[in-house]
Amino acid sequence: MTTASGELVRRPFALKPIHILGIAIIALSVAMAYYGLSSSLRPYTTSIDEAVTTGRNVQLAGFLGSMGSYDADGNFTFELQDNTGKLVTVVYAQPKPSNFEQAVSIVAIGHYDEVSGKFIAEDLLVKCPSKYQEMQSSS
C-alpha cells in the first residue's frame, strides 16, 4: 500500500489467536523437554560428600570398602570408599553382581537417603580388570 506522496506504508502485523496458541505450544514443549532432560541427567562424582549434599540422583564412583552381605530385608549392602578414604554404606535392592569380588572400582547409581544415612543404589556398575590387558611376562 502506498500513500499519495508515494511512500510505502507497512501494515502492522496482527497477532491472531492461532499464532498465540502456536507460540504457547512451542513454549510448553521446550519447557517439558528441559524438565525431562534435567531430571534424567545424573552427575558423576567421586566424592561421598558431594553425593550427600546434592540431594538428587548421582553416579557415585569409588572402591570396594567391604565384601558386602545381605540385610534383614534381603537387600545387598556393602561399603563404598571414595578417593579421600571416606566410607558410605550402599544398599542395593537386587542380587549381588556376579563379578563383584573382582571389582577394581564400582559406580553406584542412586541417591543418598538422609533418614537412614545410606546411599540407595538403583543400579551398580562393576568395573573389573580387563581380560584384554597385557599379561605380565616373567622374563
The domain limits of the chain are 43-127
Average pLDDT over residues 62-85: 90
Mean pLDDT, residues 95-124 taken together: 90
Architecture of the domain delimited by 43-127: Beta Barrel (2.40)
pLDDT of res. 111: 92
Ramachandran category for residue 46: left, alpha or beta (phi over 0 → left; psi -120 to 50 → alpha): alpha
What's the DSSP call for residue 132? T
Per-residue pLDDT at 133: 57
Mean of the pLDDT values across residues 72-93?
92
**Integer Cα distance of 22 and 30 in angstroms:** 12
Residue of 91 and 48 predicted with greater confidence: 91
pTM of the model: 0.65
Q: Is the pLDDT of residue 92 over 90?
A: yes
The answer to whether 122 touches 109, Cβ cutoff 8 Å, is: yes
In the predicted model, what is the mean pLDDT of the chain? Answer: 85
Per-residue burial over 34-55, b = 16 or more CB atoms within 10 Å of its CB, e = otherwise: eeeeeeeebeebbbbeebbeee
List 119's β-bridge partners, or say none: 90, 112
Q: Summarize the confidence of residues 70-97 as an average pLDDT.
A: 92
- Is pLDDT at 139 greater than 50 in this prediction? no
DSSP state of 133: S
- Please state the length of the chain: 139
